[in-house]
Structures are given as C-alpha cells and as structure tokens.
Amino acid sequence: MYKVKDISLAEQGSRQIEWAELHMQTLMKIRERMSKEKPLLGIKISAVLHVTKETAVLMRTLHNAGAEVYLAGSNPLSTQDDVAAALAQDGINVFAWKGENEKEYYDAIETVAKISPNLVMDDGGDLHALIHDKFYSPNIIGGTEETTTGVVRLKAMEESGVLKYPVIAVNNAFTKYLFDNRFGTGQSAIDGILRATNIMIAGKVVVVSGYGWVGRGIASRMRGMGARVIVTEVSPVRALEAVMEGFEVMPIREASKIGDIFVTTTGNINVISVDDIMQMKDGAILANAGHFNVEIDVEGLKRASKNVRNIRPFTDEYLLPNGKRVYLLADGRLVNLAAAEGHPSEVMDLSFANQALSAEYIVRNRNLKKAVYNVPDEIDNQVAELKLSVMGIKIDQMTQQQKEYSKQWKYGT
C-alpha cells in the first residue's frame, strides 16, 4: 500500500539509498543484527519523517527487523520522490510526494495515524498530537521523537498529565545533538554559503552570532578555512569561552562594521537588525544557520531596501538607502538546508541509529511509565561503539582494577 509520485523512479531512488547506506554503516550494522534477531516482529510502526534517502535507510532497517512500517512525510517539500518510490517497492507503506498541498499533507499523516500502530515515530510532534486527539489505542507501546520542538510539546503534555504512552526523546542523545549541531551544521553551513556565493573564505572576516554547539562548529570550521572569525554572544560565560579559544568577541553593532560574512546561530529573533545591516560594508553577505528564519530581520530589510534582485540561486541583493548592497542567502532560512543538502548521511547515521535502538528498547521494556525519556546511556554508548567499530577504530576497556578505582574514591597527594 503506497501513494507516491512515480513508482518508476524506484531504481534511481534505490541508487540514492545505497549511497546513503554506504555512509550510514552504524545503522547498517544494527540492521544486520536486527535482520537476524527480528526484534520488531509483529510490530506496526506509524512514522512521520522527512522522506529522504537517509530516512529510507532507517525504514529498511525497521522493515528488516520485522516491523510493518507506515510512513508519511514531515514536510510537504522535503520528500525525495525517487526515494519514496524505492521504499514503496521495498514493501514500505509510504504516503508522500514532493509538493503535497496542505490537505494532502494532513491526509497522509492521518493515513499512517489510523493503522492502529504499536510504535509512533515522529519528527515535530504532529503525529503524536493527532494520535492523542483522534487515534489513540491501547495497542500503542510507545514512541520516539526526533526534534527539540516535538520534545517540548510532549513534555508539556506530560506535565499536563495527558501523555498516553512513553516517548523517547532521540534528540537528547549525546551522539545525536552534539555531533549533529557541531560537526553536521559546522560543515554544511559552509557548504551552503560556498554553493550560494562561490566566494573565497580565506582572508574574510566572518561574524558568527551565537557560540552554542552550532556556533562553535561554524566558528571552528571557518577558522579552518582561513577566515578571521568574530563571535557575538549574550552569555558572558560562552563569550569568555570563545575568547579563550582565540576568537574575537564584540557586540554585533561593532562587528557589523567589519564583517564580510555574517552567520546567525542563536535560536533567537532579530539577532541582526536593520540598524546593524545599515552599518555593514558594501557587499556584506548574510546567512542564517539557526533553526528559524527570524534571526536576521528579513522583513525589516525588505521594507528598508530600495531594490531587491536575485543574483545567483539563493543569493539576493538588497540595495540599501545608503547606497550599499548586502546579499541575503536563502531568504534567511537555514542556509545548509536551502543552499546545500543539509546534513551529510554520516550525521543522520548516528541520529537514526538512536531511533532504531530506541524503538527496540521500547518494545523490550513494555512497562515504561507514560513519560518523556532521554535516550538511555547504554544506547548512546552503543551507538558510539558501533560507529567506532565501523570506522575500524578500537578503544580501551577499563580493567577490573580501574573499575574499582573509579568507584572508590582515593585520597592521595
């Protein structure tokens, strides 16, 4: 059972999925084991996720683990139609195509919600909400949630006492959020900026707003490409850490005057204001790598500008009243997703390994309370172990003596 754009794209989609599989060896190792052990035999899964080649690797894994999988997209624009076709051909029940209208989008989610699932796998919380509203059944053992947004919604439900099944917050795994933000976005934001502009980074002054994990990643990679990096922050502790790492730190109003490239990573609003933009040098480039497109005051910029024109894909020129030009990338949306290809498969490998193991964990621990759980440390560690192992990297094991030493506190000089 499936609804996809064009089933004849299956072969092309399969090739994409294979490329992803090659770079998602952690998940493939898990698939290998689950294909034998079938831990999800007889389990029906409702999943709402971006239908990409990486998600396909997860779907195939759950399928091989014995589950009956129903999948809808978590965004009307993010579905890769060839991948959806390949999944359909593999026997995954997929209901997704690129460019669904709003009704089609919610219909697809409803389709997977009403299958009376045992496991609910969501990215954003819409599926969890819908099932709580209209399709809850006691068959549900539990669920997982990929995003911070979704976790916040589920926690609110937990606090209000309305959460009906246990959910594991995959986002909170160390092997998810730390690697994803720092190493994934650190690279892909630069990739997006290069594809959009083809400018030289060496010798440029790059201003990174925010020194959280994303900001740290971008600042470090930009320096690695030869930029002089300036950090802006509101937290004195984070600002001090940036200073100790050798970065310049100053207010955005000062940085505005000297930056060539600006990247926002704060998670907050109007981090770069129109007043800041008015200070900038002719030719300044503005990009956002934070989740929402509110970090740069795009609306204000549009209102203030005398003219706007597109220069290159994802690069728009704004002519300011002072005669200078600034270049906004991807309309202020996530530059790594819009202008490049988002996270490399290797990053999703860790994230989806946590998904697969969390799904198994819920099935094996049916007496969990109705609460939002962090990914258990043992899973976090297991994901890291598997990843190291597929990279061919061995590490030390604690000796018995060391285990004891680390337990009993010793006093010495």
Q: Which of 190/362 has CB closer to a copy of itself?
A: 190
Site for a copy of itself in 351-410 (CB under 8 A): 380-381, 384-385, 387-388, 391-399, 401-402, 405-406, 409-410
Crossing angle between the packed helical segments 345-364 and 53-64, to the nearest 10 degrees? 30
Instruction: Report if residue 280 touches a copy of itself, rule: CB under 8 A.
Output: no
Alpha carbon distance 357, 34 (integer Å): 10
Stretch that binds a copy of itself, among 96-104, 112-120, 132-140, 267-275 (CB under 8 A): 267-275
Alpha carbon distance 203, 376 (integer Å): 44
Q: Which of 161/246 has CB closer to a copy of itself?
A: 246
Distance of CA 56 to CAs 3, 10, 121, 201, Å?
15, 12, 14, 35
* AA letter at 20: A
Instruction: Report if residue 56 touches a copy of itself, rule: CB under 8 A.
Output: no
CB burial string 206-228: b at 16+ within 10 A, e below:
bbbbbbbbbbbbbbbbbbeeebb
Instruction: Report if residue 316 touches a copy of itself, rule: CB under 8 A.
Output: no
Stretch that binds a copy of itself, among 66-74, 138-146, 264-272, 357-365 (CB under 8 A): 264-272
Q: Is 268 annotated as a binding residue?
A: yes
Q: Is 288 annotated as a binding residue?
A: no
Q: Is 213 annotated as a binding residue?
A: yes
Site for a copy of itself in 189-208 (CB under 8 A): 191, 194-195, 198-203
Q: Is 142 annotated as a binding residue?
A: no
What mask, x for binding a copy of itself by CB under 8 A, covers residues 113 to 142? ------------------------------
In sign, the C-alpha dihedral spanning 103, 109, 110, 112 is positive
Q: Which of 3/104 has CB closer to a copy of itself?
A: 104
Site for a copy of itself in 59-78 (CB under 8 A): 75
**Residue 326 near residue 280, CB atoms below 8 Å:** yes
End-to-end CA distance of the chain: 69
Alpha carbon distance 279, 259 (integer Å): 10
Short-list 388, 304, 301, 300, CA closest to 349: 388
Instruction: Report if residue 234 touches a copy of itself, rule: CB under 8 A.
Output: yes
CB of 385 to a copy of itself, least distance (A): 4
Tokens 């996809």 correspond to: 4
Among 161, 236, 321, 323, binds a copy of itself (CB under 8 A): 236
Instruction: Report if residue 340 touches a copy of itself, rule: CB under 8 A.
Output: yes
- What string of H, E and C letters represents the secondary structure of 392-406? CCCCCCCCHHHHHHH
CB of 300 to a copy of itself, least distance (A): 12
Exposed, middle or buried, 199 (CB in 10 Å: 0-12/13-18/19+)? Answer: middle
CB of 316 to a copy of itself, least distance (A): 12
Q: Which of 2/262 has CB closer to a copy of itself?
A: 262
Binding residues for substrate, by number, are 52, 123, 146, 176, 180
